[in-house]
Amino acid sequence: MKLFDNTEVAFALKTDSQLERAYFLFKMIQNQPMVRIGSAVTNFALKAHLPIEGLIRATVFDHFCGGVTEDDCMPIIDNMHNNGNVHSVLDYSVEGKDQEISFDGALEKILKIINFCEEKKSIPFAVFKPSGFGRFALYEKVTEGKTLTEIEQKEWNRIEGRFHKVCKVAVQKDVPLLIDAEESWMQKAADDLIEELMETYNKEKAIVFNTLQMYRHDRMDYLKELHQKAQEKGFHIGMKVVRGAYMEKERERAEEKGYPSPICKDKDATDINYDAAVKYLMEHPKMALFAGTHNEESSYLVMDLAKELGIKENDKNLWFGQLFGMSDHISYNLASKGYNVAKYLPFGPVRDVMPYLIRRAEENTSVAGQTSRELNLLKIERKRRKL
């Protein structure tokens, strides 16, 4: 039996009723028109303030999220760590807020999470999105190289200040920091800022991690250029490597605005690109890799490379990551072999986390085979338990 086929290990932490709920949800997600209609209806119901939060909470939310607050997440975090040897990354998944007050609130939230990380072995990383700390449109303007007004410059300085504040605390508490990637038309501003942070805070080891979305065909070149700078300036590189989460949006915008799409031509090209990035990071010293993947082949590749390169399973510079509620067959089976594994555990008020959840559902329907694999494994486990 191949490692990821072991459903007994994969679903050991799920009760029978949680197993049934997972089966029901993935059955729904498999149906693309259903996801589209469900997303539209949910958005409408939330905007119209219809009382559907209880229903969302009992189904999608509880399957894919840890809870409304950090404290809600603790029983799940402890259970995964104590019984499955799987760590958690607390992900405050509130999106699309555009006021300074919400950016300062997000900063406080991340600082609180860093304190949690310092206290709990089960939470090895903190994470945030650049747009959680500042206006998306401002990143976009900086990416385009446009001149900022005096007010905008002050606003940008505040964004930089938030990034630096978090990094300083992360270094003091020795907690590595994952910074998520977003849409390509704002990403350069974030990349440049994160590069500056790596140069400042990654002198001894990788504390600041950027994220590479490998469905972008330019990311390998970016990684090699960054490596060049790191060698010249003597800093460590931390990278979370993912395939990417905004594909439809990226393609639509490129077509609408008439520029070449930044997305690889097909799934195979993305897979090749992803595997090239993890290989590059593992082969070079002073690089730390957080392999965010739900792909079994890429996971096997990382394991094979580790063996080949003499990297221990529990090497602190090598982590695997999956989203909570998905790919348990990868997470728990890897952890059972002694690899460092962390689940991204989203949390936040139900209403505020819905855009994140809808994106996840849409993403799942667009990844061919992902949902049917989950369903098949859940079926096997249901049958195994009946026997």
Q: Tens of pLDDT along the chain (387 residues)?
A: 899 999 999 999 999 999 999 999 999 888 888 778 888 888 888 888 888 888 888 888 999 999 999 999 999 999 999 999 999 999 998 876 789 999 999 999 999 999 999 999 999 999 999 999 999 999 999 999 999 999 999 999 999 999 999 999 999 999 999 999 999 999 999 999 999 999 999 999 999 999 999 999 999 999 999 999 999 999 999 999 999 988 889 999 999 999 999 999 999 999 999 999 999 999 999 999 999 999 999 999 999 999 999 999 999 999 999 999 999 999 999 999 999 999 999 999 998 898 888 877 776 666 667 889 999 999 999 999 999
Which pLDDT score is estimated for 38? 83
The rounded radius of gyration (Å) of the Cα atoms in the chain is 20
Instruction: Please tell me whether residue 141 adopts helix, strand or coil conformation.
Output: helix
Q: For residue 149, which phi and psi values (nearest 5 degrees)?
A: -70, 170
pTM assigned to the model: 0.95
41: number of Cβ within 10 Å: 12
- Contact between 338 and 313 (Cβ < 8 Å): yes
| Predicted pLDDT at 356 | 82
Q: In sequence order, which residues have a C-beta less than 8 Å from that of residue 240 and are 6 or more positions away?
A: 178, 180, 209, 210, 211, 212, 290, 292, 321
Supply the pLDDT for residue 367: 65
Q: Which pLDDT does position 366 carry in this prediction?
A: 62
Give the number of other CB atoms < 10 A from CB of residue 312: 12
Q: Which residue ranges form the domains of the chain, and what is each CATH number?
A: 1-65+352-387 (no CATH), 66-347 (3.20.20.220)
- To the nearest 10 degrees (0 to 180), the angle between helices 70-84 and 328-336 is 50
- Helix then strand then coil, in percent of the chain rounded to 5, is 60, 10, 25
d(CA 212, CA 280): 13
User: Contact at 8 Å (CB) between 176 and 210?
Assistant: no
pLDDT value for 365: 64
**Contact call for residues 140 and 98 (beta carbons, < 8 A):** no
Distance CA 208, CA 202 (A): 7
Task: Retrieve residue 326's tokens.
Answer: 């998905």
